[in-house]
Structure 1
Protein backbone atom coordinates (compact mmCIF):
# COMPACT_ATOMS: atom_id res chain seq x y z
CA UNK A 1 0.00 0.00 0.00
CA UNK A 2 1.30 3.49 -0.88
CA UNK A 3 0.04 6.49 1.11
CA UNK A 4 -1.53 9.19 -1.03
CA UNK A 5 0.06 12.03 0.94
CA UNK A 6 3.81 11.62 1.18
CA UNK A 7 6.35 13.76 3.02
CA UNK A 8 7.23 15.40 -0.29
CA UNK A 9 3.59 16.35 -0.83
CA UNK A 10 3.32 17.80 2.69
CA UNK A 11 6.54 19.80 2.21
CA UNK A 12 5.27 21.09 -1.13
CA UNK A 13 2.03 22.26 0.49
CA UNK A 14 3.92 23.90 3.34
CA UNK A 15 6.31 25.55 0.86
CA UNK A 16 3.46 26.90 -1.28
CA UNK A 17 1.58 28.27 1.73
CA UNK A 18 4.59 29.71 3.53
CA UNK A 19 6.04 31.42 0.46
CA UNK A 20 2.66 32.95 -0.33
CA UNK A 21 2.30 34.08 3.28
CA UNK A 22 5.77 35.64 3.21
CA UNK A 23 4.92 37.48 0.01
CA UNK A 24 1.87 38.97 1.75
CA UNK A 25 3.83 39.81 4.94
CA UNK A 26 6.71 41.36 3.01
CA UNK A 27 4.24 43.60 1.20
CA UNK A 28 2.63 44.57 4.54
CA UNK A 29 6.00 45.64 5.96
CA UNK A 30 7.05 47.52 2.82
CA UNK A 31 9.66 45.22 1.29
CA UNK A 32 9.65 42.83 -1.66
CA UNK A 33 9.95 39.06 -1.79
CA UNK A 34 13.63 39.48 -2.65
CA UNK A 35 14.07 40.34 1.06
CA UNK A 36 12.78 36.91 2.18
CA UNK A 37 14.23 33.46 2.73
CA UNK A 38 12.54 30.24 3.82
CA UNK A 39 13.95 27.13 5.49
CA UNK A 40 11.59 24.12 5.52
CA UNK A 41 13.68 21.99 7.86
CA UNK A 42 12.04 21.35 11.24
CA UNK A 43 11.24 23.80 12.63
CA UNK A 44 10.25 25.66 9.47
CA UNK A 45 11.51 29.23 9.59
CA UNK A 46 11.67 32.41 7.58
CA UNK A 47 13.67 35.64 7.46
CA UNK A 48 12.50 39.01 6.13
CA UNK A 49 15.10 41.79 5.82
CA UNK A 50 13.49 45.09 6.79
CA UNK A 51 14.10 48.54 5.42
CA UNK A 52 13.88 49.90 8.97
CA UNK A 53 16.36 51.48 11.38
CA UNK A 54 15.60 52.16 15.03
CA UNK A 55 16.52 55.41 16.76
CA UNK A 56 18.28 53.49 19.54
CA UNK A 57 20.28 51.44 17.01
CA UNK A 58 20.71 53.59 13.89
CA UNK A 59 23.70 51.61 12.60
CA UNK A 60 22.04 48.19 12.79
CA UNK A 61 19.92 46.39 10.18
CA UNK A 62 16.59 44.99 11.34
CA UNK A 63 14.72 41.86 10.31
CA UNK A 64 11.63 39.83 10.98
CA UNK A 65 12.09 36.20 11.91
CA UNK A 66 9.36 33.57 11.87
CA UNK A 67 9.40 29.97 12.98
CA UNK A 68 6.78 27.34 13.59
CA UNK A 69 7.35 27.38 17.37
CA UNK A 70 7.39 31.08 18.25
CA UNK A 71 5.76 32.87 15.32
CA UNK A 72 7.06 36.35 14.44
CA UNK A 73 9.97 38.11 16.11
CA UNK A 74 11.52 41.51 15.45
CA UNK A 75 15.30 41.16 15.46
CA UNK A 76 18.48 43.19 15.08
CA UNK A 77 21.48 42.13 13.01
CA UNK A 78 24.83 41.96 14.81
CA UNK A 79 28.10 43.33 13.49
CA UNK A 80 29.87 40.05 14.16
CA UNK A 81 27.74 37.86 11.91
CA UNK A 82 26.40 35.89 14.90
CA UNK A 83 22.75 35.04 15.40
CA UNK A 84 20.35 37.95 15.30
CA UNK A 85 19.27 39.53 18.58
CA UNK A 86 15.53 39.17 19.11
CA UNK A 87 14.09 42.42 20.44
CA UNK A 88 10.37 41.50 20.55
CA UNK A 89 7.88 38.74 19.77
CA UNK A 90 4.48 39.39 18.24
CA UNK A 91 2.78 36.48 20.02
CA UNK A 92 -0.90 35.67 19.93
CA UNK A 93 -0.98 33.34 16.95
CA UNK A 94 1.38 31.45 14.69
CA UNK A 95 0.02 32.81 11.40
CA UNK A 96 -1.39 36.29 12.07
CA UNK A 97 -2.84 38.33 9.24
CA UNK A 98 -0.12 40.22 7.32
CA UNK A 99 -1.52 43.66 8.30
CA UNK A 100 -1.09 42.69 11.98
CA UNK A 101 2.58 41.90 11.32
CA UNK A 102 2.87 45.28 9.58
CA UNK A 103 1.41 47.05 12.65
CA UNK A 104 3.84 45.12 14.88
CA UNK A 105 6.81 46.46 12.88
CA UNK A 106 5.35 49.99 12.71
CA UNK A 107 4.79 50.00 16.48
CA UNK A 108 8.37 49.03 17.26
CA UNK A 109 9.68 51.54 14.75
CA UNK A 110 7.63 54.41 16.18
CA UNK A 111 8.67 53.51 19.76
CA UNK A 112 12.35 53.49 18.76
CA UNK A 113 12.80 50.00 20.24
CA UNK A 114 10.91 47.65 22.57
CA UNK A 115 11.06 48.50 26.27
CA UNK A 116 10.91 44.99 27.71
CA UNK A 117 13.01 41.87 27.32
CA UNK A 118 11.55 39.45 24.76
CA UNK A 119 9.89 36.27 26.01
CA UNK A 120 9.33 33.68 23.27
CA UNK A 121 5.74 32.44 23.14
CA UNK A 122 5.11 28.74 22.54
CA UNK A 123 2.71 28.78 19.59
CA UNK A 124 3.70 25.49 17.96
CA UNK A 125 1.15 23.42 16.13
CA UNK A 126 1.53 20.23 14.17
CA UNK A 127 2.67 20.60 10.58
CA UNK A 128 -0.66 19.60 9.06
CA UNK A 129 -2.46 22.33 11.04
CA UNK A 130 0.23 24.85 10.08
CA UNK A 131 -0.10 23.90 6.41
CA UNK A 132 -3.88 24.27 6.66
CA UNK A 133 -3.52 27.79 8.14
CA UNK A 134 -1.12 28.79 5.39
CA UNK A 135 -3.25 27.27 2.64
CA UNK A 136 -5.17 30.49 1.95
CA UNK A 137 -1.88 32.26 1.13
CA UNK A 138 -0.60 29.50 -1.18
CA UNK A 139 1.01 30.28 -4.45
CA UNK A 140 2.65 28.21 -7.13
CA UNK A 141 6.31 28.40 -6.16
CA UNK A 142 7.44 26.75 -9.36
CA UNK A 143 6.17 29.52 -11.61
CA UNK A 144 7.99 32.78 -12.27
CA UNK A 145 10.82 31.82 -9.90
CA UNK A 146 10.38 32.66 -6.24
CA UNK A 147 13.76 34.08 -5.19
CA UNK A 148 13.55 33.36 -1.48
CA UNK A 149 13.38 29.59 -1.38
CA UNK A 150 16.31 27.76 0.09
CA UNK A 151 16.85 24.49 1.81
CA UNK A 152 19.33 24.31 4.66
CA UNK A 153 21.84 21.58 4.41
Structure 2
Protein backbone atom coordinates (compact mmCIF):
# COMPACT_ATOMS: atom_id res chain seq x y z
CA UNK A 1 0.00 0.00 0.00
CA UNK A 2 1.17 3.50 -0.80
CA UNK A 3 -0.33 6.48 1.04
CA UNK A 4 -2.02 9.01 -1.22
CA UNK A 5 -0.12 11.97 0.21
CA UNK A 6 3.60 11.28 0.07
CA UNK A 7 6.63 13.51 0.43
CA UNK A 8 6.71 13.74 -3.35
CA UNK A 9 3.15 15.11 -3.36
CA UNK A 10 4.09 17.75 -0.77
CA UNK A 11 7.19 18.77 -2.74
CA UNK A 12 5.20 19.01 -5.96
CA UNK A 13 2.51 21.05 -4.22
CA UNK A 14 5.14 23.34 -2.73
CA UNK A 15 6.84 23.75 -6.11
CA UNK A 16 3.57 24.50 -7.91
CA UNK A 17 2.32 26.89 -5.27
CA UNK A 18 5.55 28.62 -4.37
CA UNK A 19 6.56 29.34 -7.97
CA UNK A 20 3.20 30.99 -8.57
CA UNK A 21 3.35 32.87 -5.26
CA UNK A 22 6.86 34.18 -5.95
CA UNK A 23 5.79 35.26 -9.43
CA UNK A 24 2.82 37.14 -7.94
CA UNK A 25 5.03 38.82 -5.33
CA UNK A 26 7.64 39.59 -7.99
CA UNK A 27 4.99 41.27 -10.14
CA UNK A 28 3.76 43.24 -7.10
CA UNK A 29 7.26 44.59 -6.44
CA UNK A 30 7.95 45.26 -10.13
CA UNK A 31 10.20 42.38 -11.20
CA UNK A 32 9.66 39.43 -13.52
CA UNK A 33 9.87 35.66 -13.13
CA UNK A 34 13.56 35.75 -14.07
CA UNK A 35 14.24 37.46 -10.73
CA UNK A 36 12.71 34.62 -8.67
CA UNK A 37 14.12 31.28 -7.55
CA UNK A 38 12.80 28.42 -5.40
CA UNK A 39 14.76 26.04 -3.15
CA UNK A 40 12.91 22.90 -2.01
CA UNK A 41 15.59 22.07 0.56
CA UNK A 42 14.98 22.40 4.29
CA UNK A 43 13.50 24.85 4.97
CA UNK A 44 11.66 25.43 1.70
CA UNK A 45 12.58 28.93 0.54
CA UNK A 46 12.34 31.48 -2.21
CA UNK A 47 14.36 34.45 -3.45
CA UNK A 48 13.23 37.56 -5.33
CA UNK A 49 15.92 39.94 -6.65
CA UNK A 50 14.74 43.53 -6.34
CA UNK A 51 15.36 46.60 -8.47
CA UNK A 52 15.63 48.63 -5.26
CA UNK A 53 18.45 50.51 -3.56
CA UNK A 54 18.37 51.98 -0.07
CA UNK A 55 19.72 55.40 0.84
CA UNK A 56 21.73 53.85 3.70
CA UNK A 57 23.30 51.28 1.34
CA UNK A 58 23.38 52.87 -2.13
CA UNK A 59 25.90 50.45 -3.64
CA UNK A 60 24.18 47.25 -2.53
CA UNK A 61 21.60 45.10 -4.30
CA UNK A 62 18.49 44.16 -2.32
CA UNK A 63 16.34 41.05 -2.34
CA UNK A 64 13.34 39.49 -0.70
CA UNK A 65 13.77 36.11 0.94
CA UNK A 66 10.94 33.80 1.95
CA UNK A 67 11.09 30.60 3.95
CA UNK A 68 8.55 28.31 5.56
CA UNK A 69 9.71 29.22 9.07
CA UNK A 70 10.08 33.02 9.01
CA UNK A 71 8.04 34.22 6.05
CA UNK A 72 9.35 37.29 4.21
CA UNK A 73 12.63 39.05 4.91
CA UNK A 74 14.17 42.07 3.21
CA UNK A 75 17.87 41.43 2.67
CA UNK A 76 21.00 43.06 1.32
CA UNK A 77 23.50 41.37 -0.97
CA UNK A 78 27.10 41.33 0.25
CA UNK A 79 30.10 42.21 -1.85
CA UNK A 80 31.85 39.01 -0.87
CA UNK A 81 29.24 36.60 -2.20
CA UNK A 82 28.42 35.32 1.30
CA UNK A 83 24.90 34.87 2.64
CA UNK A 84 22.63 37.86 2.35
CA UNK A 85 22.26 40.16 5.35
CA UNK A 86 18.67 40.27 6.58
CA UNK A 87 17.66 43.85 7.36
CA UNK A 88 13.99 43.33 8.29
CA UNK A 89 11.24 40.73 8.59
CA UNK A 90 7.65 41.33 7.53
CA UNK A 91 6.18 38.98 10.17
CA UNK A 92 2.52 38.44 10.95
CA UNK A 93 1.67 35.92 8.24
CA UNK A 94 3.61 33.19 6.45
CA UNK A 95 1.82 33.77 3.12
CA UNK A 96 0.64 37.39 3.03
CA UNK A 97 -1.00 38.74 -0.11
CA UNK A 98 1.55 40.11 -2.61
CA UNK A 99 0.34 43.70 -2.13
CA UNK A 100 1.27 43.50 1.57
CA UNK A 101 4.79 42.39 0.62
CA UNK A 102 4.98 45.27 -1.85
CA UNK A 103 3.95 47.75 0.89
CA UNK A 104 6.65 46.26 3.14
CA UNK A 105 9.30 46.93 0.47
CA UNK A 106 7.94 50.44 -0.24
CA UNK A 107 7.99 51.29 3.47
CA UNK A 108 11.61 50.21 3.85
CA UNK A 109 12.56 52.09 0.72
CA UNK A 110 10.89 55.31 1.86
CA UNK A 111 12.65 55.25 5.24
CA UNK A 112 16.04 54.34 3.78
CA UNK A 113 15.98 50.97 5.52
CA UNK A 114 15.69 49.75 9.10
CA UNK A 115 18.05 50.87 11.84
CA UNK A 116 17.57 48.13 14.45
CA UNK A 117 18.70 44.52 14.12
CA UNK A 118 15.85 42.28 12.94
CA UNK A 119 14.35 39.50 15.05
CA UNK A 120 13.15 36.53 12.99
CA UNK A 121 9.52 35.60 13.69
CA UNK A 122 8.58 31.94 14.06
CA UNK A 123 5.60 31.56 11.72
CA UNK A 124 5.69 27.77 11.31
CA UNK A 125 2.34 26.09 11.14
CA UNK A 126 0.66 23.06 9.68
CA UNK A 127 2.60 21.89 6.57
CA UNK A 128 -0.62 20.86 4.80
CA UNK A 129 -2.15 24.29 5.37
CA UNK A 130 0.99 25.94 3.96
CA UNK A 131 0.74 23.88 0.77
CA UNK A 132 -2.98 24.69 0.46
CA UNK A 133 -2.36 28.42 0.89
CA UNK A 134 0.46 28.44 -1.65
CA UNK A 135 -1.56 26.42 -4.16
CA UNK A 136 -3.99 29.34 -4.42
CA UNK A 137 -1.22 31.01 -6.46
CA UNK A 138 -0.56 28.02 -8.72
CA UNK A 139 -0.11 29.12 -12.31
CA UNK A 140 -1.87 27.51 -15.26
CA UNK A 141 1.23 25.76 -16.61
CA UNK A 142 1.61 23.93 -13.28
CA UNK A 143 -2.09 23.04 -13.18
CA UNK A 144 -1.65 21.34 -16.55
CA UNK A 145 1.18 19.17 -15.23
CA UNK A 146 4.10 21.55 -15.41
CA UNK A 147 5.75 23.60 -18.12
CA UNK A 148 7.11 20.48 -19.85
CA UNK A 149 4.08 18.25 -19.39
CA UNK A 150 1.10 19.37 -21.43
CA UNK A 151 -2.24 17.64 -21.81
CA UNK A 152 -2.75 16.07 -25.18
CA UNK A 153 -5.69 17.07 -27.26
Aligned partner of 1:54 in structure 2 is 54
In structure 2, the residue matched to 1:106 is 106
* Alpha-carbon separation, structure 2, partners of 1:75 and 1:19: 20
Q: Which structure ranks higher in relative contact order (CA pairs < 8 Å, sequence separation ≥ 6)?
A: 1
Is the counterpart of residue 87 in structure 1 residue 87 in structure 2? yes
Which structure 1 segments of 5+ residues have no match?
Answer: 146-153
| 1:149 matched residue in structure 2 | none
User: In 2, Cα distance between the equivalents of 1:65 and 1:92?
Assistant: 15
Gaps of at least 5 residues in structure 2 are none
Give the structure-1-normalised TM-score: 0.90
Structure 1 position 144, deviation (Å): 7.0
CA offsets, 1:81-126, max 9 Å, x none? 1111100000000000000000000000011111221000000123
2:147 corresponds to = 143
Q: Partner of 1:68 in structure 2? A: 68
Please state whether the residue corresponding to 1:137 is helix, strand or coil.
Answer: coil
Q: Distance in 2 between matches of 1:144 and 1:12?
A: 14
Q: TM-score w.r.t. structure 2 length?
A: 0.90
1:148 aligned residue: none
When Rg is computed on C-alpha atoms for both structures, the one with the higher figure is 2
CA RMSD between the two structures: 1.4
C-alpha displacement at 1:27, in angstroms? Answer: 0.3
| 1:15-30 superposed matches below 5 A | 15-30=15-30
SS for the counterpart of 1:105 is helix
How far residue 9 of structure 1 moved from its aligned partner, in angstroms, is 1.5
Q: How far apart are residue 10 of structure 1 and its match?
A: 1.5
